[in-house]
């Protein structure tokens, strides 16, 4: 049980580059060893284990909430993962930035707003694992080890209320 706790501390809620975000330690398949290396007072074990990872597929449709809206586009959240960006060119077109930095889709039946905290369907366009910056500006957003680029340009994508009927 202690080894599962140690594995959780090392991997849980951490991004492993090109694999995704660790959600859980699924199981421990084997533990071998218990060696003590000379000059080191702790024992060393070889542990084979499996992790549950979050990494959506490019083209996958997910549901999230709009957390932020500005001239660059939208920032979405899944609740447990917040680094999802929808750039302006991947919003429903034609669109414009309205009052309060809220995006508005200019549909033939009227103007449809992308309000904050609304639930949206989006398609995963890309997954990026940026390198860790050496220096970061003081006013910069916190570093995100995994970023999902989404798009809401297509039928059935965007606010769920748009497609309810």
The verdict on 87 and 43 lying in the same domain is no
The verdict on 23 and 76 lying in the same domain is no
126 bridge partner residues: 149
- Both tokens of residue 14? 């951490």
Task: Give, for all 165 residues of the chain, the pLDDT tens digit.
Answer: 566 778 888 888 888 888 899 998 888 898 887 788 788 777 788 888 899 999 999 999 999 999 999 989 999 999 999 999 999 999 888 888 888 888 888 888 888 888 899 999 999 999 999 887 788 777 777 778 899 999 998 888 888 887 776
Which of 34, 54, 74 terminates a domain? The answer is 54
- Both tokens of residue 134? 């050496």
Task: Provide CB contacts within 8 A for 74, sequence distance 6+.
Answer: 66, 68, 85, 86, 91, 103, 114, 152
Say whether 73 sits in a helix, a strand or coil: strand
The verdict on 79 and 28 lying in the same domain is no
State residue 113's pLDDT score.
84
The verdict on 69 and 134 lying in the same domain is yes
Q: For residue 28, give the nearest of 8, 1, 48 by alpha carbon.
A: 48
The verdict on 87 and 31 lying in the same domain is no
Structural domain for 79, as ranges = 61-163
CATH of the domain at 108: 2.40.50.140
The verdict on 143 and 111 lying in the same domain is yes
The verdict on 30 and 7 lying in the same domain is yes
The verdict on 83 and 151 lying in the same domain is yes
The verdict on 50 and 65 lying in the same domain is no
The verdict on 50 and 84 lying in the same domain is no
Find out whether 27 and 49 touch, Cβ atoms under 8 Å.
yes
Total number of domains constituting the chain: 2
């Amino acid at each position: 049980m202690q080894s599962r706790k140690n594995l959780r501390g090392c991997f849980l809620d951490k991004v492993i580059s090109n694999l995704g975000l660790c959600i859980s330690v699924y199981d421990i398949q084997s533990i071998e060893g218990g060696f003590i290396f000379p000059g080191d007072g702790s024992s060393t074990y070889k542990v084979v284990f499996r992790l549950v990872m979050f990494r959506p597929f490019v083209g996958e449709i997910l549901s999230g909430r709009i957390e932020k809206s500005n001239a660059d586009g939208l920032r979405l959240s899944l609740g447990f993962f917040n680094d999802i960006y929808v750039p302006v060119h991947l919003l429903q077109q034609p669109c414009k930035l309205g009052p309060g930095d809220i995006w508005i889709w200019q549909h033939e039946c009227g103007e449809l707003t992308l309000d904050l905290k609304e639930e949206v369907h989006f398609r995963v366009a890309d997954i990026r694992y940026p390198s860790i910056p050496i220096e970061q500006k003081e006013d910069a957003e916190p570093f995100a080890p995994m970023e999902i680029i989404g798009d809401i340009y297509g039928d059935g994508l965007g606010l769920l209320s748009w497609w309810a009927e």
